[in-house]
Chain A
Amino acid sequence: MGLLGEEEILEVRERLKEMPNPVKLIHFTQELNLEYGRETRLLLEELAALSDTLSLEVYNFLLDVEKVAEYGIDKIPATVVRNDKDYGIRFFGLPAGYEFSTLLDAILAVSKGDSGLAPETREKLRNIAEPLHLEVFVTPT
């Protein structure tokens, strides 16, 4: 029994058909002592299996130190959504419930390489000249 239900699988597969370009999920985890580590990895594996354009790479948080540094990962489970480019999109924790749909949204936006934001928003964002770290805290619903 997987984490995604049958109906959900059909829905997600349909949504992922909209993906024009490949997207990579880079996942950092560890085998032991991680409350939702196993579930998170399983969910991502089930998700990646639903589209040929979506792939999953899994790294060990303790052993793969170069990748951990490259992606700036300081806690796990962590998941990066990227294409050829790393846009700085990160998920920490199990993306379940509403956050699962947030993950799908990020995958589709990255696949299109288009944020979908209003022109004036994009202009203001592009003018930011200092590092900006946004941490958005959520809860499962």
Chain B
Amino acid sequence: MRLAHRFAMENDLIRADCIESTEFPELAGKYRVYAVPKTVINEAAAFEGALPEGYFLDGILSALGPGSGAEAVS
């Protein structure tokens, strides 16, 4: 979670929500949250687990896909 918030600080286009699953069961159900932490990207893609910085970033960038502008840097 800390990483997501820190990521948001680097780009105005990024918003990072920390969501307490038990208080928002409908949303957790919609995204099939069975294990935490689970990160949902643009209401579509998702991955589970607390990943180190580089892997967390890669997980997000691959969900954004080609043409996002993010691919150009690697």
Q: Are A36 and B6 in contact, CB atoms less than 8 angstroms apart?
A: no
- Is the Cβ of A115 less than 8 Å from the Cβ of B23? no
Name A118's closest neighbour in chain B (CB-CB). B53
Q: Which residue of A lies closest to B9 (CB)?
A: A115
Nearest-neighbour CB distance to chain B for A116, whole angstroms, equals 6
Residues of A within 8 A of B43 (CB): 133, 135
Name which residue of chain B comes closest to A79, CB basis: B18
CB atoms of B64 and A130 under 8 A apart: yes
Task: Collect the chain B residues with CB atoms within 8 Å of residue A90's CB.
Answer: 15-18
Residues of the B chain whose Cβ atoms lie less than 8 Å from the Cβ of A95: 18, 20
A interface bracket (residues with beta carbon within 8 Å of B): 35 or more
Contact A137 B33 (CB under 8 A): yes
* Interface 1/0 per residue, A77-115 and B, CB below 8 Å: 100010000011111111100010010011001100111
Nearest chain B CB to A84 CB, angstrom units:
13
Q: Are A127 and B72 in contact (CB under 8 A)?
A: yes
A-B contact pairs, 29 of them (CB 8 A): A35-B23, A81-B5, A88-B12, A88-B16, A99-B1, A102-B1, A102-B18, A105-B2, A121-B7, A121-B53, A121-B57, A124-B61, A124-B74, A125-B10, A128-B61, A128-B64, A132-B15, A132-B60, A132-B64, A133-B43, A134-B40, A134-B60, A135-B17, A135-B39, A135-B43, A136-B19, A137-B39, A137-B40, A139-B21
| For the complex of A and B, 7 pairs with smallest distance between CB atoms | A93-B20, A129-B69, A88-B15, A93-B23, A125-B10, A115-B6, A115-B9
